[in-house]
Amino acid sequence: MARIEWVKHRLENWALWKDKEGRGGLGYATQSVLLSEPGGGYRESVIPIDYIDASVTNTAVESLRPTRSHLYMTLQHIYVQGIGIKETCRRRGCAESTVYANLDAADKALSEWFGERAQKQKNSFPT
């Protein structure tokens, strides 16, 4: 089964958000602007993060934890820890095909979660 691209993109955005959260970069400077190095050197390009989208995605991922912890842990290993397929297999004691199947199942579960969320939002606003 192929991955659901829009879910995969949301997960990539979520991973960037989680990384920034882990380094204390959500809204607060980690260094004074007065201490930053002067311009003139090479700069890394910054990938923009949609914080609202990432927060909603985090809620969706957390919804997997109680009932589908194997999917939750796969997403944590692949996206948050960034350890890749082979290391995830080693840590979880499973085959690569299992990790790929878990990613596919997580995409499907998250797609359903977002669909249900959209339906609830639609039903809460009278037309």
pLDDT digits (tens, 9 = 90+) for 43-78: 666 678 889 999 999 999 999 999 999 999 999 999
Q: What is the pLDDT of residue 34?
A: 46
Query: Helix count (H) and strand count (E) of the chain?
Result: 5, 0
The structure's pTM equals: 0.80
Distance CA 127, CA 109 (A): 28
pLDDT digits (tens, 9 = 90+) for 12-34: 999 999 998 877 655 555 444 44
